[in-house]
Structure 1
């Protein structure tokens, strides 16, 4: 099942990426990046699309991984190539629900991310399975029926997935 979902996500991503750029545009961008690299002037991929979408997956309660995920999101939002072009969602499920608990130290960081437009989403399946009440979680988050469903839908819509 895991391989089937991965294959479907990859196919969906490849199909959507192919629609986002024509072969000629992809080739021109790749050639530009390659030439810049050869000249010692490469400064990262060229952000030539009007809009980018990314969903960050957090399914661990490890505090180092939580901090890394929050830092990764902040770094993406500050990337000068993506400024004004990036939509970000953070989906927490399983152990990642720890991030959104009121008794954890992440509220200020999450509030700052939400103010920057980051969608903060929590899986309802996890709450049901772990018998966690919404009252135990921060009021600034949104809820989705399932974390996996959110990932599948977003990837089919062309969103990139980051799983630190």
Structure 2
């Protein structure tokens, strides 16, 4: 029955996304085997990604900021990428005024990156908004933001 439906759909000229992905994967595999693979093709009109930062480790913070910058500079994604950075837990360090990340964050914001801080973290850690950079936004819950964004189809990156 499945083959009959598939044959009818193909005969009618209907697009079948599942087959297109398999075909793309096969083409990518063939290109890899031939030594001509240069990465996935960005064939969608728009991409959305949320970066999760829940650590105050300076190396991890720098890695996350660098990863965001690299994604924004990927020629395949230029003009097609919406990015959000959500910080919670000890990740709040990235947005603190007493840290050195403001120039990098300002540059990311100028490129359209949404910078979001979890309000639950501020409450739990007794941190005032006055202690944080004025260029950020606030979300009720970092975990809630991740859940909602993923349900909306956003990719999650947790360096």
TM-score where L is the length of structure 1: 0.86
1:58 aligns with 2:37: no
TM-superposed CA distance for 1:29, in Å, is 1.4
Describe the SS at the equivalent of 2:48: strand
> Paired residue for 2:95, among 91, 96, 100?
100
TM-superposed CA distance for 1:100, in Å, is 0.2
**Alignment partners' CA distance in 1, 2:27 and 2:153:** 24
Match of 2:79 in 1: 84
Greater alpha carbon shift after TM alignment, 88-97 vs 27-36: 27-36
Q: How do 1:15-164 residues align onto structure 2 when only pairs under 5 Å count?
A: 22-164=17-159
Query: Comparing both chains, which one has the higher relative contact order based on Cα–Cα distances under 8 Å and sequence gaps of 6 or more?
Result: 1
Instruction: Give the gaps of 5 or more residues in structure 1.
Output: 1-20
TM-superposed CA distance for 1:23, in Å, is 0.5
Once the two structures are superposed, residues 122-161 of structure 1 have per-residue CA deviations (whole angstroms, 9 ceiling, x without a partner) of 0000000000000000000000000000000000001010
Q: Number of paired residues?
A: 144
Once the two structures are superposed, residues 98-136 of structure 1 have per-residue CA deviations (whole angstroms, 9 ceiling, x without a partner) of 000001000000000000000000000000000000000
Instruction: Give the gaps of 5 or more residues in structure 2.
Output: 1-15
TM-superposed CA distance for 1:83, in Å, is 0.8
Describe the SS at the equivalent of 2:107: helix
Q: Contact 1:88–1:118 at 8 Å: present in 2 too? A: yes
TM-score where L is the length of structure 2: 0.88
Q: Contact 1:33–1:46 at 8 Å: present in 2 too? A: no
TM-superposed CA distance for 1:28, in Å, is 2.1
